[in-house]
Structures are given as structure tokens and as C-alpha cells.
Amino acid sequence: MNKYHKLKKIENNLIKKSNKTNSKLLIIYSNKFINTLFIESLLFQLFRIFVTKIYFICLFAGILGLSAYAQISKLPTPALPPASKSNQRIKNEKYLAEIWNKLENGTFATPTFEYLSTNDEGYSFDELWEIAQITNPSLSKKSNLITAAKGKYIQSGLYPNPILIYSCDSLTVHGNAGKHGLAVTQEIVTARKQKLNRTAISYDVTTARKEYSMEQIKLQNDLRIAYYEILHAILVSRVEHFTHEISHDLLKVAKTLQSEGKSNAIDVLRFQTLINAAELTYRQAENNKITKWQNLLSVIGIYDLPYQSVRGTLIDPTPRRDKQLTWIHFQKISPQLELARLKIAQSKTQLEYAKAGQIPNVYATVSLAYDIPAKTKVPFVGIAMPLTIYNKNQGNITKAIAEIAIANRELERLTLSFHKQMTNIFCQYNNACELIHVYEKTIIPDTFETLRQIGENYCNGKMTYLELYAQRKIVISVLLQYIDALKTKAVTTTQIDGMMLEGTLD
């Protein structure tokens, strides 16, 4: 029972016990007192209701604030990223180191490695080249072809052997010979056919030696390209592993928040999708790395060597090539065009040899016989020469003339083909150079600056972790494109400097 009801009961008792005068005075004062208490009670009740509503509103807002704060507080709290440096292009390997340091500091990553190049333990290109020169079968094949050409050249210089003949005649019925003796016949080569033939064969030796040198360049180019391919695969695998680790961290945070009831299943599914995609990409990068290693072993000439890393860099510090100057230089030193010119010279020598074939060789015979009945020695000297009535070697002459024309056209075809090939290679080379320049000068610095600012806003509570993660993915994507451009430039530089010689296993 509240105070108001108590006072009302007291008032009724006083009316019964007091006289009318006193009771009237008491009733007046008690009514005033009761009215005052009633107003105070009413105000107190209204105040209590107001305070209760404010309490529940503050409690509800506090729960929401704590939930949002818990989502941020559970995430790894990083230090502020460093201020971005000036956008200056660095033309050496330190630029990649600077990129990776920015990536680590700007994205709050856990995985680290010093440079974005493979300077750890593994094979260098020079070590792989030494192995390839021993084990690659193409070089051994070309070496044996030189030996075969030398044997052909030696054989072409040997003079025809003389012919030894034993003869007898005037045989009697009892088998007694009237004359018998020995004769020697020698073929005499005329019109310098022996020298011309040997000169034509000598081009085969020169060609075999030139092809061996070409095979060395082919092997070196193929090995260098395979070397750049596996370098690229290693770098891509590392970057994808970096992305995979980031996705793992994000999934752990989402699961922790879900277990505390501060996140829902949709966020976990979203992060699980991200990590599944990152894991798939990382596995593909690892498989590609093993494939590139197997390709490298095939070029070397072995296939049972377990995977090992290689050390080196994709950065090419040499000056940028000029297409016109490179083409002029290529026409002068290209071994492919030189072989085509050798073929023309050999065809011309073969034409001279075919024309010399119009003059027949002479056969000289010397014999000494003994006449048994007369008991005397009978010497004999004879000379034989074919008459060039039907066979004037006209077919071989026509063939030699056609081969000269074919060789000239082949030189023109190769020149045009190499010009087309070099144009396409230079297109890729120039595009890669432009991409690298733009990436180093603007795209990468701007992307990292954006990441740095988002990181500052994230640390100040103005942005979510998902926004930071999205920008970090953009940085990684830009970095992968930059690595692709480095590989393209390295490969095309090898093709240009290596005179477009490839295919040692073809």
C-alpha cells in the first residue's frame, strides 16, 4: 500500500474521533498534504518510466556498438602503414624489393620474403647451361653431322684408283697360252672436276659447323626462356600463396565472430568462397611451377631430376632495343641467312661442276705381255675417251641452274619471314617495356598509396576490413600483371638477342 492510501485511512479515523471543527481543519491540512504527496508520487513514477526507457535505449545501442567493436577488435591490429615515397622509377632489382616491402607494410601481411626474385638456394642459369651442353642430345647430333661432312669431304678429294688387269690370248687346245701379261688402267679426271666437286662438298662441312653453332644458340635461347618461365612461375606461386594466407586469416576471423554470435553464416560463406578460390589459384600456380620445371629438364636433356628452385631475376638491366638498328644488325650476323647464302654459293659451284661434266674423263691403259712361242715381250699403250654424243650432262646443268634460283628465292623468303617474326616480337617487347614503365612510374605507386590511405582509415575505424582486403587484392593483381610484363620483356629480349633461334628439341 502506498503513502496516499495510508494517509486516506488516517483521515477517515480522524473524522470519526474528532469534533467537527478540529476534523474540518485537519481535513483541510491533510488534503493539502495528500495532494502534494500525490503530485510528487506522480512525478516520481513518470521520472522512473523515462529513466527506464533511456536505460533500455542505451543498453541496446551499447550492444550494437560492442558487436561492431568486437568485429574490429578481433581482427589483427596492424601498425600504421608508412608514408608513400616519391613516384620515381628504379631500374634494377631493388625496385621489386621496394614493392614487396610496401606490400607487406601496406597490407598487414604475415608471409614475408626479402625480394620478389628468387635469390634463395637453387640452380643458376650458368649451372644449368653447363649441364645442358653435356646432356642435350641435339648438340651431340650436330657434332656427329660435322664428322660425317668431313668424311664426305675427304672422300670427295680422293683420286680414282687404278685398275689392274691380267690378260692372256692364243690359248691352245691343251691350255697353253700364246701370250699373257699385266695391264694397268687409270681414269684421268679432266676439266678440274675433282677440285670443283671437293669445293662443293666443302660447303657441307661449313654448313654443319654453322648448324652446330646455331644449335648452341638455340639451346641457350630455349634454356633461357624456360629459365625465365620457371622464374615467373615461382614468383606467381609465391604471390598466390600470399593471397591464400590472407584469405585464411580472414576466414578465421569470420568463424571466431560467428562462434561468439557477432557474425552470421553469410559472412563465413563469403569468406569460405574467397579462400576456396585462392586455394584453387594457388594449386594451379604450384602445378604450373612443376610443369615449367619439367620443361626446363627436357631442354637440358634429362627428365629424372627432382624439383629444385632456381635463382635469378626477371629484370633486364640492358638498354632498350631499337627495331631498325636490330634488323640491320640481324641481316649481317644472322646464321640462318648466312646458311641461305652458303646454299647459293654451293649451288653455283655445283653448276660449274655440272658444266665441267660435259668434258669426259680419259682412261689410259699400259700393259706388258709376253709372247711364249716367240719368247718376246710385247708392250701396249692405249687411251680411251667416251664420245659425248647423247649424254652431254644437260640434265645436271638444268638442275643446278634451278637450284641456284631456288636458293635465291629461299633467301628472300627467309628474310621476309624473319622480318615478320621480328616485327611481332618487337611489338610484344615494346608493349612490355611500356607496361613496365607505366607500372613502375604510376600504377604501382598509386595503387600502394590508395592502399596506404585505406589502411589509415581502417586503423581509425572509418573503413571495414573487407574494404582493406579488396584493395589488397587489387595490389596483388597489379603486382601479378607487372610480373607478367617482366617475363614478356625477358623472353622477347632473349628472342631478339638470340636471333630468333628456338626449337632445339624440334
Top-confidence residue, 448 or 140: 140
- Looking at 216-220, 410-414, 442-446, which range is the least confident one? 442-446
* Mean pLDDT of all residues in 115-141: 82
pLDDT > 90 in the chain, percent:
46
Q: What is the pTM of this model?
A: 0.73
Give the model's pLDDT for residue 271: 73
C-alpha distances in Å from residue 458, one per residue of 111, 161, 230, 449, 465: 21, 96, 37, 14, 7
* Mean pLDDT of all residues in 24-51: 53
272 has a pLDDT exceeding 90: no
Residue carrying C-alpha cell 550494437: 64
> For 470-497, how does the pLDDT look when each residue is reduced to its tens digit (9 = 90+)?
777 888 888 899 999 999 999 999 999 9
| Position 8, amino acid | K
- DSSP H or E stretch at residue 380: strand 376-384
pLDDT > 70 in the chain, percent:
70
Give the integer Cα–Cα distance in Å for 199 and 217: 27
Contacts of 159 (CB under 8 A, 6+ apart): 189, 194
Under DSSP, the state recorded for 441 is I
Cell of 21: 471543527
CATH 1.20.1600.10 fits 94-159+189-345+398-497, yes or no: yes
Under DSSP, the state recorded for 240 is H
Pick from 255, 249, 256, 253: nearest CA to 275: 249
53 has a pLDDT exceeding 70: no
Task: Give residue 376's pLDDT band: very low, low, confident or very high (50, 70, 90).
Answer: confident
Top-confidence residue, 451 or 323: 323
21 has a pLDDT exceeding 80: no
> For 157-199, how does the pLDDT look when each residue is reduced to its tens digit (9 = 90+)?
899 999 999 887 766 555 565 778 899 999 999 999 999 999 9
- Looking at 153-167, 264-278, 337-351, which range is the least confident one? 264-278
Which residues is 181 bridged to in the sheet?
A: 167, 369
Give the model's pLDDT for residue 361: 93
Which residues is 378 bridged to in the sheet?
A: 369
Phi-psi region of 438 (alpha: psi -120 to 50; beta: other; left: phi over 0): alpha
Give the integer Cα–Cα distance in Å for 450 and 95: 19
Task: Give residue 115's pLDDT band: very low, low, confident or very high (50, 70, 90).
Answer: very low
Q: Where are the domains of the chain?
A: 3-73, 94-159+189-345+398-497
Give the model's pLDDT for residue 306: 87
> For 186-234, how does the pLDDT look when each residue is reduced to its tens digit (9 = 90+)?
999 999 999 999 999 999 999 999 999 999 999 999 999 999 999 999 8
Task: Give residue 39's pLDDT band: very low, low, confident or very high (50, 70, 90).
Answer: low
Which residues is 163 bridged to in the sheet?
A: 185
455 has a pLDDT exceeding 60: yes
How many residues make up the chain in this entry? 506
Q: What is the mean pLDDT of the chain?
A: 79
Cell of 414: 627467309
* Mean pLDDT of all residues in 328-338: 95
